């Protein structure tokens, strides 16, 4: 039986995680739940999964929950301190972080420090502080479990290598569905709306990541995520558009062999593999019907129409605090686009302008990263 602390339980990944846990009551048990502010959904989850500890990040919402729980004896925490408590609680074996954006970074460090296996579903913590997270995990001899579908695919292809990745892997190939605006010209993208941008053709996801998929920033973030998770140099990670989204990513080996992971688009599968690792369990995810797929196609990404991909990759090569700045500026740019305050094409422009004003610190520690993050957020709001 594995005990799980889930950060971000009311979001899309959080709910998929709970349905994996629900389907395997003899294997997984919820020990703690954390949410930002969605108290009504959390109340239902508390009833069903009976956690020993909950955290509501927003203090006012936490107060509402305490009132609603009445005399029921359940510890309700709030803020970053609350998240850290959830992350290091002695009863849990795995901490799954599915918060939005770079939120949850401190909790991830607390969990690793406490020796927990950590599943990181929001890629932003690895993007801004991947070198520190992986170093800490090596020191504490614990696992960072990939949850993102592409990274789960690569991880599955790398099983049984016994750590010989460096000598045997030539390239990682991240596949991208291309998002809702695949094939469009810049002219056609001038006036696209938030509701068009979040209407992803293959995956149902939260709003932030849906916009990132539409700009291809998501794939840029995933390149850095893969670099840290698998310790592969950035220049050996490629991106390929694969519209059918049947292959979730591939590994090319030095001898010319390729391995790919194929499955239907359902986040329950990578989540379950991370939770059951190193075992594989039955799942409710339907099997692929190859006769209905007909063909698998591959194309180069259109880097001119979707400049976020190259913007991200050149920022990763630069390193230092620049990745944190790009990430923070992107979070604000996406929020402003969703609010109708910025055009779709304005997203990369805004990020570029913030990056141009930043003086990058090399080999930053966590405080320098957090400083760069809040500086970039302010700049991105102000411009
Ligand atoms: Mg992904």
Residue 157, sorted as left (phi over 0), alpha (psi -120 to 50) or beta, turns out to be alpha
Residue 46 lies in a domain: yes
Average of per-residue pLDDT across 147-173? 90
147 Cα: distance to centroid of ligand 1 (angstroms): 9
Same domain, 175 and 52: no
Ligand 1 centre distance from Cα of residue 380 (Å): 25
Cα of 249 vs centre of ligand 1, distance in Å, is 10
pLDDT of 203 higher than 90: no
Distance from the CA of 290 to the center of ligand 1, in angstroms?
22
According to the model, what pLDDT value does residue 101 have? 65
Question: How much distance in Å is there from the Cα of 236 to the middle of ligand 1?
Answer: 18
Residue 175 Cα, ligand 1 centroid: separation in angstroms?
9
pLDDT (mean) for 107-112: 95
Residues with CB under 5 A from ligand 1 (ion): 148-150
Could you tell me the residue range of the domain that residue 42 belongs to? 2-122
Residue 75: CB atoms within 10 Å = 14
pLDDT at residue 63, as a whole number = 95
The C-alpha atoms of residue 189 and residue 345 are separated, in whole angstroms, by 7
Looking at residue 76, what is its pLDDT?
96
* Residue after which a domain boundary falls, among 65, 100, 122: 122
Between the CA of 74 and the centroid of ligand 1 the distance, in Å, is 35
CB within 8 Å of 63: residues ≥ 6 apart: none
Q: What is the pLDDT of residue 105?
A: 87
Query: In the 3-class helix/strand/coil scheme, how is 259-325 assigned residue by residue?
Result: EEEECCCCCHHHHHHHHHCCCCCCCCCCCCCHHHHCCCCCECCCCCCCCHHHHHHHHHHHCCCHHHH
Q: Judge whether residue 367 has pLDDT over 80.
A: yes
Whether residue 277 sits in one domain with residue 326: yes
Which pair of structure tokens corresponds to residue 12? 């899309």
What pLDDT shows up at residue 202?
73
* Span 104-124, average pLDDT: 93
Question: From the CA of 209, how far away is ligand 1's center (Å)?
Answer: 9
pLDDT higher than 90, residue 71: no
> How many angstroms separate the alpha carbon of residue 59 from the centre of ligand 1?
31
Q: Please tell me whether residues 320 and 182 are part of one structural domain.
A: yes
Separation between Cα atoms, residue 310 and residue 216, nearest integer Å: 9
β-strand pairing of 75-78 with 53-56 = parallel
What is the whole-number distance in angstroms between the Cα of residue 222 and the centre of ligand 1? 7
Is 246 within the bounds of a domain? yes
Instruction: Please give the distance, rounded to the nearest whole angstrom, from the Cα atom of residue 58 to the centre of ligand 1.
Output: 28
167 has pLDDT over 90: no
Ligand 1 centroid distance, CA of 188 (Å): 25
CATH of the domain at 31: 3.40.50.720
Is residue 255 in some structural domain? yes
Is 217 in a helix, a strand, or coil? helix
Q: How large a percentage of the chain has pLDDT more than 90?
A: 90
Q: What is the DSSP letter of 237?
A: E
Over the stretch 215-244, which tens digit does the pLDDT of each residue have?
Answer: 999 999 999 999 999 999 999 999 999 999
Per-residue pLDDT at 318: 95
Give residue 8's pLDDT.
95
Question: What's the chain's average pLDDT?
Answer: 94
What is the whole-number distance in angstroms between the Cα of residue 172 and the centre of ligand 1? 14
User: Domain for residue 310, yes or no?
Assistant: yes
Q: Per the domain annotation, does 313 fall within a domain?
A: yes
Instruction: Quote the ligand 1 centre to 47 CA distance (angstroms).
Output: 31
Tell me the per-residue pLDDT of 317-361, one tens digit each, with 9 for 90 and over.
999 999 999 999 999 999 999 999 999 999 999 999 999 999 999
Q: Which residues pair with 174 in a beta bridge?
A: 239
C-alpha of residue 143 to centroid of ligand 1, in Å: 19
Residue 172 has pLDDT above 80, yes or no: yes
Ligand 1 centroid – CA 35 distance (Å):
22
Q: Are residues 342 and 193 in the same domain?
A: yes
Distance 370 CA to ligand 1 centre (A): 24
Q: Does residue 249 sit within a domain?
A: yes
- Residue 46 Cα to ligand 1 midpoint, Å, equals 29
Q: Are residues 118 and 179 in the same domain?
A: no
**At which residue do the structure tokens 């099997």 appear?**
287
Is the pLDDT at 163 greater than 90? The verdict is no
In a domain, 355, yes or no: yes
3-class SS shares of the chain: helix, strand, coil, % to 5 = 50, 15, 35
Angle at 224 between CA 281 and CA 151, to 5 degrees: 15
Q: Is 225 in contact with 151 (CB distance < 8 Å)?
A: yes
The reply to whether 53 and 99 lie within a common domain is yes
Number of domains comprising the chain:
2
Q: What is the CATH number of the domain that holds 189?
A: 1.10.1740.10
pLDDT of residue 225: 96
Half-sphere CA count of 222, side-chain side, radius 13 A: 29
**Band of the pLDDT at 103, cuts 50, 70, 90?**
low
The per-residue pLDDT for 206 is 82
Q: How far is the CA of 150 from the centre of ligand 1 (A)?
A: 5
pLDDT over 80 at 161, yes or no: no
Question: What's the Rg (C-alpha) of the chain?
Answer: 20
Long-range contacts of 136-143 (CB under 8 A, 24+ apart): 136/109, 136/112, 137/112, 140/112, 140/113, 140/115, 141/115, 142/112, 142/115, 142/116, 142/117, 142/118, 143/117, 143/118, 143/277
Continuous segment of H or E residues that includes residue 250: strand 247-253
Confidence of residue 211 (pLDDT cuts 50, 70, 90): very high
Distance (angstroms) between ligand 1 centre and the Cα of 221 equals 9
30 domain residue, yes or no: yes
């Amino acid at each position: 039986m594995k005990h799980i602390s889930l950060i971000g339980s009311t979001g899309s990944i959080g709910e998929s995680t709970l349905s994996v846990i629900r389907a395997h009551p003899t294997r997984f048990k919820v020990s703690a739940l954390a949410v930002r502010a969605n108290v009504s959904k959390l109340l239902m989850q508390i009833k069903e999964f009976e956690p020993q500890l909950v955290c509501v990040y927003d203090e006012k919402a936490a107060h509402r929950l305490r009132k609603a729980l009445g005399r029921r004896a359940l510890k309700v925490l709030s803020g970053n301190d609350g998240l850290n408590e959830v992350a290091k609680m002695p009863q849990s074996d795995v901490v799954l972080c599915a918060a939005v954006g770079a939120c949850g970074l401190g909790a991830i460090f607390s969990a690793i420090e406490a020796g927990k296996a950590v599943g990181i579903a929001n890629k932003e913590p690895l993007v801004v502080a991947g070198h520190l997270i992986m170093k800490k995990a090596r020191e504490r001899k614990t696992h960072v479990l990939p949850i993102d579908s592409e990274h789960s695919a690569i991880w599955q292809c790398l099983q049984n290598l016994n750590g010989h990745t460096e000598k045997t892997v030539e390239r990682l190939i991240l596949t991208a569905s291309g998002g809702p605006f695949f094939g469009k010209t810049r002219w056609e993208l001038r006036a696209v709306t938030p509701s068009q941008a979040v209407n992803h053709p293959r995956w149902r996801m939260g709003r932030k990541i849906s916009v990132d998929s539409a700009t291809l920033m998501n794939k840029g973030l995933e390149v850095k995520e893969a670099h840290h998770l698998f310790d592969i140099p950035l220049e050996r990670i490629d991106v390929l558009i694969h519209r059918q989204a049947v292959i979730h990513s591939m590994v090319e080996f030095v001898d010319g062999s390729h391995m790919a992971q194929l499955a239907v688009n359902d986040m329950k599968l990578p989540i379950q593999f991370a939770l059951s690792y190193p075992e594989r369990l039955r799942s409710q995810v339907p099997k692929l019907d190859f006769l209905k797929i007909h063909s698998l196609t591959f194309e180069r990404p259109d880097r001119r129409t979707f400049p976020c991909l190259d913007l991200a990759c050149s920022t990763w090569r630069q390193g230092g605090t620049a990745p944190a700045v790009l990430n923070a500026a992107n979070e604000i740019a996406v929020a402003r686009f969703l609010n109708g305050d910025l055009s779709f094409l304005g997203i990369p422009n805004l990020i570029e302008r913030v990056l141009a004003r930043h003086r990058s610190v090399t080999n930053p520690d966590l405080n320098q990263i957090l400083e760069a993050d809040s500086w970039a957020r302010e700049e991105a709001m102000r411009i």
